[in-house]
């Protein structure tokens, strides 16, 4: 059916969309600042990503219906069954993340969390530029973590490349506009599709407070 649904329904809430695009921008900033040895700005972008990842984890439990992990993460059987429909141009559009996209989201969050986590403990070769938690590990351990941090970045690039290829495939072959839905939050789906059930504003405020507070505490090296 593709995008041939009969009505446009709310699909993604504003916090989910803002977090998605903010992570994309912050990752680009982290990439640029690392390549140009702007380590002060690189640390700040890392703290921003840390806060965004914490918020997304929180929102995956407390957010709107389509943002919750329980609503879209499926087991191996459902994932394989969906994978078999990929060659079909007329496969039914899914309200929210499809099973493969769901595992892509999980992988992205896990890798981002690991990447930021390694950056917190990493130490450069001279020992001058170090993560805020590097005082918890030895110099040698910090250097090993720095090497893993570089490899983690390469892994993220591969995952991002696969993500962009999938978005292009759905747009060009299946005629499903995934980018538009993540911008304006609505998507055309069949009559049986359930629209987004939003979360109250106080949950957004609580999530922002938790994410910002944790990022601030870590930036201070957990020293109060």
Whether 14 has a pLDDT exceeding 60, the answer reads yes
pLDDT tens digits, 79-111: 999 889 888 887 667 777 888 989 999 999 999
Check: CB of residue 66 under 8 Å from CB of residue 95: yes
Question: And the tokens for 66?
Answer: 């389509």
Q: Is the pLDDT of residue 4 over 60?
A: no
d(CA 76, CA 100): 10
List, for residues 18-41, the tens digit of each pLDDT value: 999 999 999 999 999 999 989 999
pLDDT value of residue 175: 87
Q: CB–CB of 139/127 below 8 Å?
A: yes
pLDDT over 60 at 3, yes or no = no
């Amino acid at each position: 059916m593709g995008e041939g649904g009969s009505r446009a329904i709310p699909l993604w809430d504003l916090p989910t969309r803002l977090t998605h695009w903010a992570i994309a921008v912050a990752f680009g900033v982290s990439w640029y600042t690392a390549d140009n040895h702007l380590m002060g700005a690189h640390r700040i972008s890392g703290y921003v990503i840390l806060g965004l990842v914490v918020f997304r984890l929180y929102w995956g439990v407390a957010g709107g219906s389509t943002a919750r992990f329980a609503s879209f993460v499926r087991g191996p059987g459902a994932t394989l069954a969906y994978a078999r429909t990929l060659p079909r141009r007329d496969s039914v559009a899914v309200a929210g993340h499809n099973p493969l996209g769901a595992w892509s989201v999980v992988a992205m969050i896990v890798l981002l969390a690991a990447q930021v986590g390694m950056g917190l403990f990493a130490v450069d070769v001279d020992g001058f530029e170090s993560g805020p938690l590097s005082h918890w590990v030895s110099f040698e351990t910090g250097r090993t973590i720095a090497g893993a941090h570089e490899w983690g970045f390469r892994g993220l690039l591969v995952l991002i490349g696969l993500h962009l290829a999938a978005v292009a495939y759905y747009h060009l072959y299946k005629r499903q506009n995934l980018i538009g839905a993540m911008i304006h939050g609505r998507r055309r789906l069949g009559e049986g599709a359930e629209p987004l059930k939003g979360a109250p504003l106080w949950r957004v405020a609580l999530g922002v407070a938790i994410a910002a507070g944790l990022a601030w505490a870590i930036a201070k090296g957990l020293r109060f």
